[in-house]
Amino acid sequence: MALRTAAHPADVLNGLGWHGCVPIDSGVLQQLWSAFLKRQESHRLDGLDPASGILYARSVMKFQHFSFGQVRIDGIEYGYDVVIDRGKVAKRKKKASKQFREAFGHTPLSLEEKIPWKCSRLVVGTGEGALPVMDEVKREATRRKIELLILPTEEAMQILNQHAKDTNAILHVTC
């Protein structure tokens, strides 16, 4: 018997972690649920719908590797800056901040970008330390009572691996 999965490939490789959902035959449901509960300290439970036999759960994101020009999150390599907003990874859209490039020598993080403010902590990974964060972003974080951490991306990933609860991030992958 094979399970059809809509799971994240890295989670399938890791065993019993799922992004999305996995249809489960009723006879297998109890076995998988028990195994899942044993691992729950490293997972966040989103729910279970026993009637449909679908287990909904999300693994805690794993920030695995950073090198110049790429970052690996949950086993997927990204060759561009990323924004993590409540567990979802997206490409950073920095076009709106390019107008400030000449003043900083690099495209900075500005309020012109869509910043993931729905959190209690925002971690900004600056690559090797070159991503400027404009003062207006720092003031806005203070105004919103959001803890703002600005660190080289490698250090930012360590923080995210240890303290991910209610934390969003912007990770710069070059310079």
Q: What totals of helices (H) and strands (E) does the chain contain, helices first?
A: 5, 11
The CATH number covering residue 137 comes to 3.40.1230.10
Residue 52: which pLDDT band, with cuts at 50, 70 and 90?
Answer: very low
Residue 49 included in any domain = yes
Domain total in the chain: 2
Residue 4 included in any domain = no
In the predicted structure, residue 169 carries a pLDDT above the cut 50: yes
Residue 1 included in any domain = no
Which contacts of 112-117 are long-range, i.e. CB under 8 A and separated by 24 or more positions?
114/83, 115/140, 115/170, 116/83, 116/84, 116/85, 116/86, 116/168, 116/169, 116/170, 117/144, 117/146, 117/168
Instruction: For the chain, give the percent of residues with pLDDT over 90.
Output: 58
| Same structural domain, 75 and 37 | no
CB 87 within 8 A of CB 61: yes
Q: Are strands 121-126 and 147-151 parallel, antiparallel or unpaired?
A: parallel
pLDDT at 34: 63
In the predicted structure, residue 48 carries a pLDDT above the cut 60: no
In the predicted structure, residue 45 carries a pLDDT above the cut 70: no
pLDDT at 174: 86
Residue 133: which pLDDT band, with cuts at 50, 70 and 90?
Answer: very high
Residue 160: which pLDDT band, with cuts at 50, 70 and 90?
Answer: very high
Residues spanned by the domain of 55: 9-59
* Mean pLDDT score, 60-67: 88
